[in-house]
Chain A
Amino acid sequence: MRSVVVAVVVVVAVVLVVLSPRFGRANPTADYRPPVPADALTNGCYPLPAGLRLDFPYQVRRDGPDPTVAGRRRLVVQYDEVSDAEVRRRLDAALAAAGLPASAAVVTPLADRPADAVVRGTIVLSLPAVADQRPGDPVCSDPASTKRQADS
């Protein structure tokens, strides 16, 4: 009797599996794994000044109007893997290429930085204010991508 039940269950299962493509396809939403947001400096919304390019690994942490100086933009990025001296050197070159003074970037090494740290410090850039270059594009109103947070 038991083996008959098992056999029936197996046959029904196999039939259902074979027929399953005919029933349609489920639609998972991936809600719990949203895509990585586009980088704030390359999404086309609030680009860097012409000629300025950060040629080291970085992630933008905050962007928005500078609360202390009207008409200026305050951009906070973390730099990865490169040394403090190297990032300073590359920043100076990049700022000069964009016609900006070296004082536009303040580099602060990470506090309590472990020897094998990936994220090595923070750069605060003081830049000319920039308007949204692609108004209406949903990406440009998404703080996950622009890093323009409500409280920044």
Chain B
Amino acid sequence: MTAVLEKPAADDEATRPRRSRVDLLLVVLVAAHIVLAWVMYTRVQERTPIGDEKYYLDAARALSNLVRDLASLHAPHGAELRDNVVGNGWFMPGTPLLLTPLFLVLPHVEIGHVRLYLSVVTTLLLVAALLDVRRVLGRWYAVVLAVIPGLIPMWVLFGATLYGDMAAGLVLVILLMRTIELVRGLAAGRPPTLGQGALLGLIAIGSLYLRGSTMPLLGGLAVAVWLAVLWLLRGRERRRALGALVVSAVVFAALLLPWSLGASHALGSRVVTTSSVPLGLGNTFGDRDRMCFGPCDPDSTLWFGPVRYSREVARATGLGELDVQSRMAAYALHGLTPHHYADQVVADFQNYLRDPADYAYYLHNPSGRDYDQLDHITTWTERLFWPVIVGGAGLLLLVTRRSYDAQLLSIGGKLLLGGLLLQPFVHVAGARYWPTAAPVGGLGLALLVGLVLTWRPTGEPAAERTAEGAAEDAAATSRPASRVLTWVQGLLTAGVVLVAAALAVLSA
């Protein structure tokens, strides 16, 4: 990898053969991913749904029934939708929406076929993300992404599950590419079209439906794009760009609204995305023996026990169950010290990063899949997980002046990762969350490697350096680095360092 960030340049005799070889490598890597996805699928094809997968499956069934009811002009089955789609309000129904077409045609489809369907969908999503990355950042970025995380066994295994985390990460990559493309256009004086704005809103709401925890980063990204428009454009162009962003926001809100209204109506309180934050805070940072204004029932679990209790209090008092849950969490959090909070956040980060292949054990089918393969999955996931950490951490800390495009990726990556990493601050973390962040970590790794390989001790201009590297792949395209973007990166990095330092000091 020599070019830091490149986009396809005009063809010439010297670069065309090299570029086609990189494309060939990309095709080989995608083929390897497909083989790996097949192997992972065969491991879990008979595995009965575990944990939250049960919700996603039920929600998909209920949504397919909703379509049936509407198609046959019958009233929707309200109770079925309330209990199976909204449920406790813990999850956004993105995976169920993906599965609805399957259940529409095969209402009693077996779990194996559900897993196969999802494997195909997530593989197609990976290909779409790779094509976008190749187009926007260049071939080598796509190559790195096809390996990290495209060939991490556990990440691929997640593609055959009903958890939306892995798919959400890929949608975020597509969103990031479209955002970088949009800001590049702004810098060249080109406002986005209304269609581009609508598409951006559509992709953003797609990631939110797959994982409710993407909400903060979507907010950050939206603020960044609005500021970019105000900074880079003037007059008519600015108005056109703002119009496109309004369209984006309208599409986003219009597609979120049915869920928010439905969930709020079903749960009797205002729900925008999910309702799990109070219980998450209480269970993670509070005294669990105070969660039900005393200990919760021992016959239930950490999550279901408090919900059942809140519904019992709601029945007795007429309050909404989510209102009760907020009060329960506040009571459990009474007396929480900064030290305990920071300590728990650190523990959460450890849980987030430890045992990345943990779910391979949960998903292990006891009826005969071989344990040697399980060991291989664990070993190779742990080995390939380190580059994700290095890429992610590097991206969070990086302040580059190499090129405008590198700066855009650095800022966008920080916003995405920073938003995703808010999760350990509010909720028990586990080995299920890293797959969302892994593709951004892969892009961070590609950026870091590119920067290292093209580093020169002399002060030659960035454009010349990347042009030199372009002999391998593509020419430098980037505008000169921006001082403002250097400051923005510096501020974001300073924020990350400050939070990390505060955690270290408070938890000591």
A residues in contact (CB < 8 Å) with B: 13, 16-18, 20-21, 23-34, 36-37, 39, 57-59, 61, 78, 80-81, 110, 112, 114, 117-119, 122, 143-144, 147, 149-151
Contact pick for A59, options B55, B108, B300, B312, CB 8 Å: B312
Query: Given A20-B71, A28-B80, does the pair A144, B299 have CB atoms closer than 8 Å?
Result: yes
B212 CB, min distance to chain A CBs, angstroms: 15
Can you give 16 contacting A-B residue pairs, CB < 8 Å?
A: A13-B101, A20-B105, A21-B68, A23-B106, A27-B108, A29-B58, A30-B58, A57-B316, A59-B312, A59-B315, A61-B297, A78-B294, A118-B317, A118-B327, A149-B299, A150-B299
- Is the C-beta of B407 less than 8 angstroms from some C-beta in chain A? no
Chain B count of residues within 8 A CB distance of the other chain: 51
Tell me the B443-489 residues at the A interface (CB within 8 Å): none
Which residues of chain A are within 8 angstroms of B335 by Cβ–Cβ distance? 112
Contact pick for A26, options B62, B71, B317, CB 8 Å: B62
* Docked-complex contact A30 and B84, CB < 8 angstroms: yes
B295 CB, min distance to chain A CBs, angstroms: 8
* Docked-complex contact B297 and A32, CB < 8 angstroms: no
Q: Label chain B's interface by main secondary structure.
A: helix
Contact pick for A28, options B71, B84, B299, CB 8 Å: B84
- Is the C-beta of B140 less than 8 angstroms from some C-beta in chain A? no
Contact pick for A37, options B65, B71, B104, B308, CB 8 Å: B308
- Is the C-beta of B83 less than 8 angstroms from some C-beta in chain A? yes
* Docked-complex contact A16 and B61, CB < 8 angstroms: no
Contact pick for B84, options A33, A37, A119, CB 8 Å: A33
* Docked-complex contact A21 and B83, CB < 8 angstroms: no
* Docked-complex contact A18 and B71, CB < 8 angstroms: yes
* Docked-complex contact A58 and B316, CB < 8 angstroms: yes
Contact with A along B46-63 (1 / 0, CB 8 A): 000000101100111110
Contact with A along B95-123 (1 / 0, CB 8 A): 00000010111111000000000000000
Query: Given A31-B54, A31-B58, A110-B293, does the pair A23, B107 have CB atoms closer than 8 Å?
Result: yes
CA distance A31 to B58 in the complex (A): 8
Which residues of chain A are within 8 angstroms of B106 by Cβ–Cβ distance? 23
CA distance A45 to B313 in the complex (A): 21
Which residues of chain A are within 8 angstroms of B311 by Cβ–Cβ distance? 36
- Is the C-beta of B309 less than 8 angstroms from some C-beta in chain A? yes
Query: Given A37-B308, A80-B317, A144-B300, does the pair A112, B331 have CB atoms closer than 8 Å?
Result: yes
* Docked-complex contact B104 and A20, CB < 8 angstroms: yes
- Is the C-beta of B88 less than 8 angstroms from some C-beta in chain A? yes
Q: Label chain A's interface by main secondary structure.
A: loop
CA distance A147 to B300 in the complex (A): 11
B residues in contact (CB < 8 Å) with A: 52, 54-55, 58-62, 64-65, 67-68, 71-72, 80, 82-84, 87-88, 90, 101, 103-108, 292-294, 297-300, 304, 308-309, 311-313, 315-317, 319, 324, 327, 330-331, 334-335
Which residues of chain A are within 8 angstroms of B68 by Cβ–Cβ distance? 20-21, 25
Closest to A24 in B: B107
* Docked-complex contact B62 and A28, CB < 8 angstroms: yes
* Docked-complex contact B293 and A21, CB < 8 angstroms: no
Closest to B319 in A: A118
CA distance A36 to B315 in the complex (A): 9
Which residues of chain B are within 8 angstroms of A150 by Cβ–Cβ distance? 298-299
* Docked-complex contact A81 and B317, CB < 8 angstroms: yes
Which residues of chain A are within 8 angstroms of B84 by Cβ–Cβ distance? 28-30, 32-33
Closest to A29 in B: B58
CA distance A23 to B72 in the complex (A): 12
Which residues of chain A are within 8 angstroms of B315 by Cβ–Cβ distance? 36, 39, 59
Which residues of chain B are within 8 angstroms of A39 by Cβ–Cβ distance? 312, 315
B322 CB, min distance to chain A CBs, angstroms: 13
CA distance A33 to B82 in the complex (A): 9
CA distance A117 to B294 in the complex (A): 14
CA distance A12 to B423 in the complex (A): 40
Given contacts A23-B104, A30-B87, 11 further A-B contacts (CB under 8 A): A23-B106, A23-B107, A26-B107, A28-B65, A31-B54, A31-B58, A33-B83, A58-B316, A59-B315, A61-B292, A117-B327
CA distance A151 to B105 in the complex (A): 48
CA distance A59 to B58 in the complex (A): 30
* Docked-complex contact B309 and A59, CB < 8 angstroms: yes
Which residues of chain A are within 8 angstroms of B105 by Cβ–Cβ distance? 16, 20, 23
* Docked-complex contact A20 and B55, CB < 8 angstroms: no
* Docked-complex contact B67 and A17, CB < 8 angstroms: yes
A25 CB, min distance to chain B CBs, angstroms: 6
* Docked-complex contact A114 and B107, CB < 8 angstroms: no
